[in-house]
Structure 1
Amino acid sequence: MLAEPSASLRSVRGLRLPRPRTERATAPPAPYWPRLLPLLAALACVTRIPSFRWPLWSPDEGYLAVQARMLADGGELYETVVDRKPPLVPWLYEGTFALFGDETLLPLKVLAVAAQLLTAVLLVSIARRRWGDGAGRTAGVLYLFISVGLNPEDAQAATFEVFMLPCTAAAIWCADRRRWGAAGTAVACAFLVKQTGGAVLVPVAWLLWQAGAVRKDVLRLGVGLGAPVLAVAAVTTPAGFLFWTVTGSGAYASFTGSELHVLLRGLTNAAILAAACAGIIPPVARVLRVARTGSAELWLWLASSAGAVLVGFHFFGHYYLQLTPSLALLGAAALQILPRERTLTAVSVSAGACALFLAWGMLAPRPELAHAQRLAGEIQTRTAPGERVLVWGIHPETYWLADRAPASRYLTAGLLTNYSGGRDGPQVGEKYAVDGAWPVLRGELAADPPALIVDDSRGKPYGPDRVPSLRRILAVSYRPVLRVEGMVVYARVDRAR
């Protein structure tokens, strides 16, 4: 005889993941937010403690810090200050430096805590409106627990994804309330933080269609989305904005080169995030197995975010942060129709996983940061404060740590060789650089030769021996003065000693 289904399975069989309530919710009791906000704020602070452990966590933070200094010194975005990213985060760094000084990233780390707290609050509001007070609390707490579930370099850095997530959550929050103009603006802000943030338009458009979209609503969404993007393009330079954020990254987005290495990275980061979500995945899978699925916009949000992770075929760990808000909401949706003990188990497991990731962040060594700090010390010793240097590598934080201006608008060798994300295959070299980059670089170095050129390639495939233009510059005008830890410091011939 077949075994009788368990009571818990019978209780949810045939159910549906709940959809948003169609009726206006009863006025919430006053204690809800005053009680919950301090808890969420405390969790946001605790989960971000490792971010304060080091001066910076990733080359992206270093890149943004150097960009901000260049902008403050009169640089022009997408002209003399360039990157493949939209401008909101560079402007955020610039504004923060103007207020608090550019010697520390501490204010940006605090803003990252605020961004995570805001994301959690928006998810609470979405879940609470749909499924009640308990689901709201669960969604906010689960989100903060899983938000650190990656390599600390990816999860703790105050960079693009962390500041993008409140915008994506705000887009869903607004669309859920049929505020289409505001939803479009939130999608635009997500895109202007990082291009892949625009993926949240998919679930927003689905919600618009589900609401019985009329022309006026579509127009509001379109204007809300288009106006901020066009305004930012006009404020910078339309051609430069289009090139650096959309059309100029063809080689970077190619899958060719180190396919196995990149695929392994993608699977590894997916496994790390799955471990952080160990409390969420089982209840979601259980409900999927025994209940009809609903809340299609949440699945579309997760799917579109997964598509954003795949874009470019790099699979960096910080890309996976985009998955966490929708995962938290799906977890809350599944748990609120399961027995209460399942919620306690899920939260406990998530808390334990979070504790492990926090310990990782606090205890793990940072050899690359230590190397960059030693290199910055050598640069400071061998140059005067007003002199410029060129660091040939992928660690732009060296400029910020050394407090020396870069000799070029191209802050990494990746922009000049397409060495991005560890690619060491056939698509690395001068001919794969950003279009027009090498003539610009040669002009910059000829007009104002740097006092030092530091080869920090350390055996990577973008080393000077494989880059003829750089090799000629070094051979004609520079002499090696120091070799240490695989790096070579070159000084101009007129000052080499």
Structure 2
Amino acid sequence: MSTEPSDRREPLIRMGSSSAALPLAQPTLGELAARARERLRTGYWARLVPLLGTLAVLTHLPSFARTVWSPDEGYLATQARMLAGGGVLYDTVVDRKPPLLPWLYEGAFWLFGSASLWPLRVLAIGAHLGTAVLLAAIARQRWGNRAGAAAGVLYLLVSVGLSPEDTQAATFEVFMLPATAAAFWFAQNRRWAQAGAATAVAALTKQTGGAVLLAVLWMLRREARRDGGQPARGSLPALAFGFGLPVLVIALSTGVKNFLFWVVTGSSDYASLDGAWLTMLERALGNAAILAAAALGLLVPLARRWRRAREDADLWIWLAASALGVITGFHFFGHYYLQLVPPLVLLGVGAVARGSLNWRPVLLYTALAGTVFVGLGFVWPHQPLQHSVSVATDVSEETAPQDTVLVWGMNPEVYWLSGRTPATRYLTAGLLTNFAGGREPDSVGVNQGVSDSWKVFGKEMAKRLPVVIVDESGNAPYSPRYIQPMRALLAAHYIRIGSDGTAVFYRLRHQ
């Protein structure tokens, strides 16, 4: 008696009108391998992704040309070392940013060591590649294969279209872009839970990454109108669940109270209208003009079709939401503008594709502009970095590895470059005084800092005074001459031992 199930059937193939049936021939391993090779040779993504990967590396090669590009990188690197040394995020290690990128830095340092940022630069290139692939998928679904390839290529070329210190650094905006693009792609395909989760990842990388939620909600509403006024059952709950679950998990893991303070409510003074309006306006218009010059090849066809903007209303809403992210805080730093690049590229690609315009001038101009910006990355002035390296060298010479130091300024990379432990959880004077680029002196001071920060700072100093204090304030409104607690600390416990340019060094008196 047969032991095989009675309902098992062999696959059949009918030949013409004959009732005869023959078993289907199963492909051999050699045939499967041949099919795979053919698909790799002729498949759309198999050809496009290597091209985009190569372009991502070429456009961001300057990122490896220097040790650190921006204070944000220095802040993240110092945070990662503190976390690796037993620090607790939003307790003994603080910042006004969500936790995903500090954790990513910490993980990279655990795997590769903390002496260099090259692993983060590689990951940043991967983030740009992921964004390019997702934009290609969005454009291909809307306008065809050629538009998809163009979207990926043009994104990578425009992504370097700002100051090199804004585009080559491995910072928050770079790592939130893949999640924002993923959120839009999932929403375009009516996968609402995944769209919510991707939006949450973007917002947990940087708060303004959550702006894409406005476009996602509009697309959900559009679906409801198409379906008679009500969204498909479960669509809105799925979106809310997808967004809420990651946020809840992260909040619980870091402590809900601390998470809400440092990620949400604690930035109210920083994101304020108080500031030097002329400086802010100059920065806003200047960075907008630089990005416009880099993306001019896309802006021209887009301007020719602005009357038909409703065809891509979801993209316009994404762009407008991203612009709100740039405006938030009224600082207008160049790296904020990276958030505009994905929707701007898609709108430009759509204008060319819908208008049946010639791709060649668009690609040629953008390639030329991208080449110029990549070249600038290799020759960009090194003075700020050289100053930080010089100060860090002096700190290393004046202290022992187990000593703590305090850098009173806005260059936290000095901690990381010197290999010394910060004496406080507040890695910049900005957290204690509310100083930021463009702030008016009247909005900077002891009472404008993070709530209770001076009380916490006082406890830290009472527990262990730093061996060396580096005052990098110069004539800034947070100079010790204007900040009484710092002035009193220096007068009571420290002697001046020298200077390095604008940095003044103080050593702890022997008690």
Shorter-chain TM range is over 0.9
The corresponding residue for 2:210 is: 198
The one-letter code of the counterpart of 2:289 is A
Paired with 1:253 and 1:267, the residues of 2 have a C-alpha distance of 19
Instruction: Report deviation, 1:154.
Output: 0.7
Is 2:153 the partner of 1:141?
yes
Is 2:73 the partner of 1:61?
yes
Residue pairs, 1:304-383, within 5 angstroms: 304-341=321-358, 343-383=359-399
Specify the SS of the correspondent of 2:469: strand
Specify the SS of the correspondent of 1:390: strand
The corresponding residue for 2:453 is: 437
The corresponding residue for 2:317 is: 300
Specify the SS of the correspondent of 2:96: coil
The one-letter code of the counterpart of 1:453 is I
**Residue ranges of structure 1 left out of the alignment (5+ in a row):** 1-26
Residue pairs, 1:221-236, within 5 angstroms: 221-236=239-254
Instruction: Report deviation, 1:484.
Output: 2.5
Paired with 1:91 and 1:272, the residues of 2 have a C-alpha distance of 32
Specify the SS of the correspondent of 1:63: helix
Instruction: Report deviation, 1:292.
Output: 5.9
Is 2:171 the partner of 1:159?
yes
**Residue ranges of structure 2 left out of the alignment (5+ in a row):** 1-38, 225-230
The corresponding residue for 1:255 is: 273
Write the deviation string for residues 341-397 of structure 1: whole angstroms up to 9, x where unpaired.
Answer: 3x1101111111111111111101121110000000000000000100000000000
The corresponding residue for 1:208 is: 220
2:260 to 242, 246, 258: 242
Paired with 1:168 and 1:386, the residues of 2 have a C-alpha distance of 42
Is 2:426 the partner of 1:410?
yes
Write the deviation string for residues 276-334 of structure 1: whole angstroms up to 9, x where unpaired.
Answer: 11111000001225x46312100000000001111111111111000000011111101
2:462 to 428, 432, 446: 446
Paired with 1:141 and 1:183, the residues of 2 have a C-alpha distance of 24
Instruction: Report deviation, 1:257.
Output: 2.2
Paired with 1:193 and 1:60, the residues of 2 have a C-alpha distance of 13
Specify the SS of the correspondent of 1:465: coil
Residue pairs, 1:63-102, within 5 angstroms: 63-102=75-114
**CA contact under 8 A between 2:196 and 2:241: conserved in structure 1?**
yes
The corresponding residue for 1:280 is: 298
Instruction: Report deviation, 1:32.
Output: 1.2
Is 2:436 the partner of 1:420?
yes
**CA contact under 8 A between 1:256 and 1:425: conserved in structure 2?**
no
Paired with 2:411 and 2:381, the residues of 1 have a C-alpha distance of 17
RMSD in angstroms over aligned alpha carbons?
1.4
Write the deviation string for residues 241-262 of structure 1: whole angstroms up to 9, x where unpaired.
Answer: 0000111112111111211111
The corresponding residue for 2:56 is: 44
- Where relative contact order (Cα < 8 A, 6+ residues apart) is larger, the structure is 1
Write the deviation string for residues 126-156 of structure 1: whole angstroms up to 9, x where unpaired.
Answer: 1001110011011111101100111111111
TM-score computed with the length of structure 2 as normaliser: 0.90
Paired with 2:104 and 2:246, the residues of 1 have a C-alpha distance of 16
1:220 to 238, 245, 254: 238
Paired with 1:255 and 1:275, the residues of 2 have a C-alpha distance of 28
Q: Report how many aligned residue pairs link the two structures.
A: 467
Instruction: Report deviation, 1:105.
Output: 0.4
Specify the SS of the correspondent of 2:98: coil
The one-letter code of the counterpart of 2:238 is R
Identity across the alignment (%): 52
The one-letter code of the counterpart of 1:250 is S
Larger Rg: 2
The one-letter code of the counterpart of 1:220 is A
**CA contact under 8 A between 1:395 and 1:412: conserved in structure 2?**
yes
Paired with 1:170 and 1:328, the residues of 2 have a C-alpha distance of 15
TM-score computed with the length of structure 1 as normaliser: 0.92
The corresponding residue for 2:35 is: none
Paired with 1:246 and 1:337, the residues of 2 have a C-alpha distance of 41
Specify the SS of the correspondent of 1:275: helix
Paired with 1:87 and 1:226, the residues of 2 have a C-alpha distance of 16
Instruction: Report deviation, 1:340.
Output: 4.5
The one-letter code of the counterpart of 2:331 is H
The one-letter code of the counterpart of 2:235 is D
The one-letter code of the counterpart of 2:347 is L
Paired with 2:382 and 2:449, the residues of 1 have a C-alpha distance of 29
**CA contact under 8 A between 2:143 and 2:354: conserved in structure 1?**
no
The one-letter code of the counterpart of 2:102 is P
The corresponding residue for 1:171 is: 183
**CA contact under 8 A between 2:274 and 2:440: conserved in structure 1?**
no
Instruction: Report deviation, 1:88.
Output: 0.2
